[in-house]
Structure 1
Amino acid sequence: MVYTEENIREVLNKILEPPLALFSLQVQNRKNHALIEISLDHLEQKTGAVSLFDCEEVSKRLKEELDNWGEEFDFTLQVSSSGAERMLRLPEDFGRFQGLLAKLEVLLDNGTWDKRVYRLGPRTGDTIELTPYEKRGPRRKVVKPIQKPLSEIRKGNLFLEL
């Protein structure tokens, strides 16, 4: 048997209950073996991070379902959280994570792409308000927010302030 993203996704749709959701899924088939990598999202958690308990429960339930498919094919199953510094799905995650810090790859005025940390502000149409992040310190300066077209943001991850 060959495991596909489609048939694994069907099983996950039966197993996952809100607020848990599928963040990403990869299936790599090799001769008589498959590597199934699943990343979960917690829709009600501030950064979307999932607990170890949730990962274990999804892994256990999915393994039970896959074992019912037969023993002729071996698989390795990895279930994890999308993480607190997860990749952002642009532009839809901008609204969800408004107010949090994100490391974004943005187009600068000189035409080059640069990675910087910003606090995500409100999104209006095809524009988002970004406030450049300045680490707190004795000489913290006031930084004004900028308006950035979504088309000038290529990728990003949440950024944890420690």
Structure 2
Amino acid sequence: MTVSKEVIETILDRILLAPVKLYALMVSQRPNHTLIEVELDHLGHPYGSVSLLECEQVSRKLNEELERISPDLNYTLKVSSAGAERKLVIPEDLDRFRGIPVRLVYKLEGSNDKEGIFKILDRKEDRIFLEPFSKRKTKGSKKKEVILELKDILKGNLYVSI
């Protein structure tokens, strides 16, 4: 017996309570086994991190629903947070994670892809205003602002500095 990704999404829509929402869902069907991987996002947390308790609650409720609708299903369920260095959904996350360091891969006209770590200062329409990020504190020196066009950002993820 199998269960579709759409059925699992419908169940998650019912059991997830704001500010926790679905970030990603992967369902891998194998001949006699299904792997279900759920990644959660917390809209109220600065980095979107979901607690272990929240993951446990979603896992328990999803297990109960799967057992109810498909008692013969042989599956493994993994529920986790999307992670502190998650992939960014562009452009939405550029507004959401303003002020937080991000690693961006971008292109500039006539050059190869570039990569940098920046703090998001602002976004106005299709322009992103960034400040280069450094772990070292520099006294008195103002960092040069970088402005990128939204179309030039190839990918990005949150960056956690230690």
Q: TM-score range by the shorter chain?
A: over 0.9
- The gaps in structure 1 that reach 5 residues or longer are none
Segment of structure 1 superposing worse, 12-21 or 108-117: 108-117
Q: Which amino acid aligns with 2:61?
A: R
Matched, 1:82 2:64: no
TM-score for the superposition, normalised by structure 1: 0.94
For residues 150 and 18 of structure 1, the distance between their equivalents in structure 2, rounded to whole angstroms, comes to: 29
1:69 is aligned to 69
User: Could you say what the CA RMSD is over the residues aligned between the two structures, in angstroms?
Assistant: 1.5
Matched, 1:39 2:39: yes
Matched, 1:147 2:147: yes
Deviation at 1:73, TM superposition (A): 2.0
The number of residues matched between the two structures is 162
- The gaps in structure 2 that reach 5 residues or longer are none
2:158 is aligned to 158
- Percent identity, aligned pairs only? 40
For residues 3 and 21 of structure 2, the distance between their equivalents in structure 1, rounded to whole angstroms, comes to: 20
Segment of structure 1 superposing worse, 136-145 or 48-57: 136-145
1:30 is aligned to 30
Segment of structure 1 superposing worse, 65-74 or 129-138: 129-138
Q: Which amino acid aligns with 1:61?
A: K
Q: Does the residue aligned with 2:11 lie in a helix, a strand or coil? A: helix
Deviation at 1:135, TM superposition (A): 2.6
Give every structure 1 segment of 4 or more consecutive aligned residues whose post-TM-superposition deviation is greater than 6 Å.
none
- Cα deviation digits, residues 88-119 of structure 1 (max 9, x gap): 00111100000100001011354211221011
2:103 is aligned to 103
Q: Which amino acid aligns with 1:118?
A: F
TM-score for the superposition, normalised by structure 2: 0.94
Q: Does the residue aligned with 2:143 lie in a helix, a strand or coil? A: coil
Q: Does the residue aligned with 1:68 lie in a helix, a strand or coil? A: helix
For residues 147 and 43 of structure 1, the distance between their equivalents in structure 2, rounded to whole angstroms, comes to: 27
For residues 86 and 62 of structure 1, the distance between their equivalents in structure 2, rounded to whole angstroms, comes to: 23
Describe the shift of the 1:89–1:138 C-alpha distance in structure 2 as closer, same or farther (beyond 3 A). Answer: closer
